[in-house]
């Protein structure tokens, strides 16, 4: 779906197996673009889902609304979010790199990132709608009473 990412990296196995290439219906193309921009600026491979390569990650992109993983109203369940990591750069460095390039990422649709204090081994990124967005929202899950 982009230069460095396959569709399966954004979609859980059960959805991909049911919809194949139509699985694009479940993921916002903006989050795909954001993943590619992070890959480009970091220069390292980025992991989202890796079930298609024998890995254990299946719910780091789109999540079914019935999924017990994450918050009830998670942006993942709207196809607007990804959780990323890399074997070549730790989560804290990825997080810092993203914030250091926030202008570029804002232009490409990034609107929110979860505070690294809550996501020590991954980085949550999403493209939720925020009216008059001028900054990236940095949130800590308990700030929203586990609603977002």
Which helix (H) or strand (E) element contains residue 95?
Answer: helix 91-100
Least confident interval from 55-69, 87-101, 127-141? 127-141
| 145, pLDDT greater than 80 | no
Inform me whether the pLDDT recorded for 146 exceeds 80. Answer: no
Cβ proximity of 117 and 140 under 8 Å = yes
> What is the overall mean pLDDT for the chain?
94
Q: Which pLDDT does position 147 carry in this prediction?
A: 46
Average pLDDT over residues 66-81: 95
The structure's pTM equals 0.94
């Amino acid at each position: 779906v982009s230069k460095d990412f396959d569709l399966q990296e954004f979609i859980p196995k059960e959805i991909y197996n049911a919809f194949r290439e139509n699985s694009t219906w479940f993921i916002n193309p903006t989050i795909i673009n954001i993943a590619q921009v992070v890959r480009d600026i970091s220069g390292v491979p980025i992991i989202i889902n890796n079930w298609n390569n024998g890995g254990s990650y299946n719910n780091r992109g789109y999540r079914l609304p019935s999924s017990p993983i994450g918050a009830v109203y998670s942006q993942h369940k709207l196809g607007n979010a990804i959780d990323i990591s890399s074997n070549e750069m730790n989560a804290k460095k990825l997080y810092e790199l993203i914030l250091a390039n926030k202008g570029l990422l804002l232009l490409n649709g990034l609107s929110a990132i979860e505070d690294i204090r809550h996501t020590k081994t991954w980085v949550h990124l999403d493209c939720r709608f925020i009216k008059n967005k001028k900054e990236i929202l940095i949130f800590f899950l308990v700030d929203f009473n586990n609603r977002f």
